[in-house]
Each structure stands twice: as structure tokens, then as C-alpha cells.
């Protein structure tokens, strides 16, 4: 998003904040970006947790195709993705291939219990991070680099938006892996063949 677009977004938010309904003097309530992301995180986390609880043991190396991600790596990714919120808010950039190699934790998560704990810890940290930041900070740019080359430069709120979509994408992929390995697929945005809840 251009700086003009960011400025326009701020101006529109401010105008909406100050707008009044024609009768009764009621003011419009505008949700902040931080409140929006907190609400989204608190809605998505239980769905992801349900899926991770069903991860089968001993399937870390399984994959549906030679070019697909192994089950264990995918499960760890889905469990840990909420930690990206803190990284995006608290760091100005991430290099996926920095000099000397990555310093991000890569400890394997071998069991459903380990996956759930990693997920719960990451969600708790992300909630604390979002509660301690501001919309003004989320308007500041964040960079993604590969070997020192910037491949993305966007306001943090757009990076966070894309992170939630990315998380949903990989969780969907994870539920396909569950099905293909005979594990229970939980309700996510409505019932599955195994779980009839609407939650």
C-alpha cells in the first residue's frame, strides 16, 4: 500500500470516528486494528487447537506427494504461526536466509500434546503483543527479505492480515492430511463429516 493509501486510511478512520448519526447524537463505534486482530485471533485459535489435538503420532515424514510438505513440518508450522504476530509487531524485518543461517527455533514437535502446547504459548504471546501495540505502530512498514534482498515492504496491518489468511490456508491443508491418514477432522467453520458442531 502506498503512503497516500495509508494516509487515506487514517483519514477515513478518523472521519468515521468523529461522525455522528443524524438523530440522538449517537456516535459511531469504530473498531481499532488491534481490536480487530485480537478478535480474529481469539476466534481462529480454538479452531486450530482442535485440529492439532488430532495429529496422529508417527506420521512426521508422511506426505501426499513428493513435492508436498511433510506432515510433521506442516503441523509445526500451523502450531507456531501465531508467533509470527509478535515477530511482525516487534521486529522491523525478517530475512528468510540471513548470513549464518536462520536463528528461528526449529525444534521438532513430535506429539499432539507438544503441538497444542506450542500453539497455546504462541497464541498467548500474540495476544499480549497485540494488547501492547497501537494502530499507529501497525501503520508502519515491515520488510520481508531473502538473502538481504527485500521481497515485500508493507504496513504491518497488511502483513498481519495476510498472516491470518496464510494460517487458515495451512490449517486447511493440515485437515486434508488428517483425513488422508484416518484421523478425525474437527469442525472449523461448520460441521465436518466427523464433528457436527457449528462453532
**Model confidence over 120-153: pLDDT tens digits?**
999 999 999 999 999 999 999 999 999 999 999 9
pLDDT in the model for residue 8: 56
Residues pairing with 141 in the sheet: 155
Residue 124 and residue 81 in contact, taking contact as beta carbons nearer than 8 Å: no
In the predicted model, what is the mean pLDDT of the chain?
89
Distance (Å) of CA 60 to CA 45, 87, 145, 173: 22, 26, 29, 15
- Degrees, nearest 5: CA angle 2-4-8: 120
Degrees, nearest 5: CA angle 154-77-104: 70
Calpha distance 121→131 (Å, rounded): 16
Question: What is the spatial distance between Cα 163 and Cα 171, in angstroms, rounded to a whole number?
Answer: 12
Distance CA 122, CA 136 (A): 23
**Residue 100 — pLDDT band, cuts 50, 70, 90?**
confident
Q: Is the pLDDT of residue 20 over 50?
A: no
What per-residue confidence (pLDDT) applies to 105? 64
Burial of 108 (0-12, 13-18, 19+ CB in 10 A): exposed
Q: What does the pLDDT read at residue 99?
A: 83
Q: Smallest Cα–Cα separation from 176: which of 100, 93, 75?
A: 75
| pLDDT over 80 (residue 52) | yes
Instruction: Please report the pLDDT score of residue 106 as a whole number.
Output: 74
Q: Is the pLDDT of residue 115 over 70?
A: yes
Total-model pTM = 0.83
Residue 62 has pLDDT above 60, yes or no: yes
Is residue 104 pLDDT above 90, yes or no?
A: no
What is the distance between the alpha carbons of residues 79 and 183, in angstroms, rounded to a whole number?
17
Amino acid at each position: 500500500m502506498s503512503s497516500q493509501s495509508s494516509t487515506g486510511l487514517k483519514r477515513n478512520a478518523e472521519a468515521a470516528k468523529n461522525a455522528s448519526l443524524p438523530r440522538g447524537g449517537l456516535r459511531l463505534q469504530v473498531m481499532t486494528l488491534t481490536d480487530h486482530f485480537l478478535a480474529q485471533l481469539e476466534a481462529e485459535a480454538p479452531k486450530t487447537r482442535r485440529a492439532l489435538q488430532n495429529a496422529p503420532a508417527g506420521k512426521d515424514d508422511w506426505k501426499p506427494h513428493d513435492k508436498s510438505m511433510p506432515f510433521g513440518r506442516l503441523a509445526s508450522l500451523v502450531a507456531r504461526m501465531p508467533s509470527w504476530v509478535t515477530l511482525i509487531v516487534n521486529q522491523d524485518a525478517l530475512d528468510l536466509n540471513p548470513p549464518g543461517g536462520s536463528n528461528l527455533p526449529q525444534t521438532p514437535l513430535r506429539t499432539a500434546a507438544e503441538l497444542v502446547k506450542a500453539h497455546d504459548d504462541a497464541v498467548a504471546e500474540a495476544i499480549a503483543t497485540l494488547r501492547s501495540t497501537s494502530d499507529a505502530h501497525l501503520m508502519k512498514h515491515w520488510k520481508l527479505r531473502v538473502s538481504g534482498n527485500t521481497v515485500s515492504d508493507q504496513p504491518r496491518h497488511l502483513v498481519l492480515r495476510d498472516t491470518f489468511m496464510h494460517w487458515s490456508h495451512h490449517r486447511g491443508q493440515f485437515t486434508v492430511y488428517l483425513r488422508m491418514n484416518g484421523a478425525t477432522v474437527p469442525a472449523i467453520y461448520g460441521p465436518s463429516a466427523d464433528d457436527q458442531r457449528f462453532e
